[in-house]
Amino acid sequence: MPISATPTPGKTLVSPTDHVLIMIDFQSQMAFATKSIDAVLLRNNAALIASAAAGFKVPTILTTVAEKSFSGPMFDEITEAFPGQPLLDRTSMNTWEDAGVIDHLNTLGKTRVVFAGLWTSVCIVSPALSAIDQGFEVYVIADACGDVTDEAHDRAMDRMVQAGARPMTSLQYLLELQRDWARTETYDMTTGIAKKLGGAYGLGIIYAKSMFNAHEG
């Protein structure tokens, strides 16, 4: 039987309304030992996905571990994107074992979860595998995670992918939420985030608009 294509998005693409973003342990103490990604790039990518989630009104959980006693505050780039939102502090390294986080997650009613945070091999792999075991669809924003070595990060990503998690990147997350430049209500916001935090892509947008008044779509 021939297959007939239709102009509809694939079911595994994320949209602003179909998932919860969980940002885990973006804290000073965790960042100090992170070596698999440069700290400046990590903060940039964390800011990019936080700005994207806030702009597209994605339900987002911000969680820390031992904030007051050990790990320190969450990155300002994240908390400034969600002014006034409480941080759910934990003792458990596995976010999925924290009743407060899970209670909040359950109130949101989503079965697709996107994770980002520190460290990949501990505080990301544990909830990702736990969520998969319970039937959730799991995505991991690989370049908004980091670990003490490249090996630790890479093997954790391998383990999650082998279990069924879908890897993506920060810029991919932003552009997948937008997906169509004809969506004019979020066009300026998306390109604004990209210009500020999208690296060389953002520079390209600035150049094209300044030199030629170019416009996507």
CA atoms of 41 and 26, how far apart (whole Å)? 13
pLDDT at residue 129 greater than cutoff 80: yes
How confident is the model over 65-84, as a mean pLDDT? 89
Q: What is the mean pLDDT of the chain?
A: 95
The label of the residue with tokens 């994240």 reads 78
pLDDT value of residue 71: 80
Q: How far apart are CA 144 and CA 97, in angstroms?
A: 22
Model pTM score: 0.95
123 tagged catalytic: yes
Reported as a pLDDT band with limits 50, 70 and 90, residue 208 is: confident
Sorted by where each begins, the domain ranges of the chain are 20-179, 183-217
Which CATH architecture best describes the domain 20-179?
A: 3-Layer(aba) Sandwich (3.40)
Q: Please, what sign has the CA dihedral across residues 84, 85, 88, 89?
A: negative
Binned at pLDDT 50, 70 and 90, residue 207 comes out as: confident
Please tell me the distance from the alpha carbon of residue 101 to that of residue 89, in angstroms, as a whole number: 9
Residue of 14, 48, 58, 123 marked active site: 123
Q: One-letter amino acid identity for 194?
A: A
Sign of CA dihedral 69, 53, 82, 190: positive
Q: Is the pLDDT of residue 217 over 70?
A: no
146-198 tens-digit pLDDT: 999 999 999 999 999 999 999 999 999 999 999 999 999 999 999 999 999 99
